Structure 1
């Protein structure tokens, strides 16, 4: 008498399918590939800049003072690293003495766990510059608000911004720079 194997291999197949689905779910969560097709545009005004209407015709226009508003201390063009990135990064001192890093006309890929870092690392072209920003000192100024537009990132009051020479759009999940700018003093 010959006995058949009714269902003997089924638990193994189900186990493999469960592992494959769990692996696919984890991979999707980790890589978040849909973000490559999702743009988030954020357009913020520079803090402390107030739009004013023209003065009345009867009197002279008030003359602005040199230190009345924000002042750019350093800046540079963003270069591409892991993903195509363009725009500018500026270190700006506000009228109250606080500092912000301003990204203007930013255009980069969206991705998981992106942050704006103020760093002391030199900006290097190409693959040589992808992973240097976590080698020295850096300060995370927060999550990237959007992968397109103009945005402000507050520098904490206890940080001396003159100690830092570059800005990186850093992917914490994969330890890689999407793009960076050297902060040349103005």
Structure 2
């Protein structure tokens, strides 16, 4: 029993200390991109997040979430949500892969960005907010 508990505890520690990916190249809006909304990341009560989130539309009308100079604490099972609030009770997951730095993420056509205006960095495994940005 003790051995099983120890293995479980060590597994959780290893997951909690896993590092997110780091973007290799800079992603910046091009001249033809239209910035629809922007917001700065703020920390949650327990974790740190920083950087800028921008909702952009390209020349073809496709929408993207652009994260610039993005950083957050390490954690297990981190996701990026667009949500109507900071509680992640009405959200759309737009990425299950968290990358630090500068990142461009496609926003599905069915997302109502007028109501889902919060970008959440959310730990799905433990239902914990790591950081957020309100798109205005």
Shift, 1:47, TM fit: 8.0
Give unmatched runs, 5+ long, in structure 1: 1-18, 50-67, 122-131
Shift, 1:45, TM fit: 4.6
Which one of 62, 78, 95 corresponds to residue 41 of structure 2?
78
Native 8 Å contact 1:43 1:151 kept in 2: no
Rg larger for: 1
Give unmatched runs, 5+ long, in structure 2: none
TM-score, structure 1 length as denominator? Answer: 0.65
Q: CA RMSD in A?
A: 2.1
Q: Determine which structure has the larger helix proportion and give its number.
A: 1
Aligned to 2:121: 169
Aligned to 1:144: 97
Q: Determine which structure has the larger strand proportion and give its number.
A: 2
Aligned to 1:120: 84
Deviations 1:101-144 (A, max 9, x none): 111101111211001000111xxxxxxxxxx4223x21000123
TM-score, structure 2 length as denominator? Answer: 0.86
Within 2, Cα distance between the matches of 1:172 and 1:33?
A: 12
Within 2, Cα distance between the matches of 1:179 and 1:43?
A: 22
